[in-house]
Structure 1
């Protein structure tokens, strides 16, 4: 018997299922859900950041005129 056929036969013998595949993969679901929740919280923490510093931006614009670099704060 050649090597490839022997490997295929060995692989076929070792594919026997011993339990519920859904329950075996459930921890991966919880890990992924936790990671995505943490990433969502990080993204949510950057919400409204530009408006938190609107007073500083307006003070800078008043000091330097409105011909600034034109970036940020929706202007």
Structure 2
């Protein structure tokens, strides 16, 4: 066999019969589900600091003198 006949044979084998979109329709569906899940996880952390504002205020009051006074204007 010559190189040209090998290329022609490989091209024949590589042909698809059917709709390629129907064969790959699951890729965008899976991507949509993954991104929706990641968006839900991101939104679940929304407003977390305000849920624990009383703890943050108590910690700041307790450790007010521990903060180093360095930086701009200190």
TMscore range, shorter length: 0.7 to 0.9
SS of aligned partner of 2:24: helix
Greater displacement, 30-39 / 8-17: 8-17
Tell me by how many angstroms 1:16 deviates. 1.7
Tell me by how many angstroms 1:33 deviates. 0.8
In 2: Cα distance, 1:44 partner to 1:66 partner: 35
Q: List gaps (5 residues or longer) in structure 1.
A: 70-75
1:20-64 residue CA offsets vs partner (Å, 9 max, x unmatched): 111111111111111111111111111111111111010111112
Any residues of structure 2 matched to 1:20-39 within 5 Å, and which? 20-39=19-38
In 2: Cα distance, 1:24 partner to 1:66 partner: 65
TM-score, normalised with respect to structure 1:
0.73
Any residues of structure 2 matched to 1:9-48 within 5 Å, and which? 9-48=8-47
Q: Is residue 49 of structure 1 aligned with residue 48 of structure 2?
A: yes
Tell me by how many angstroms 1:11 deviates. 2.3
In 1: Cα distance, 2:54 partner to 2:30 partner: 41
TM-score, normalised with respect to structure 2:
0.73
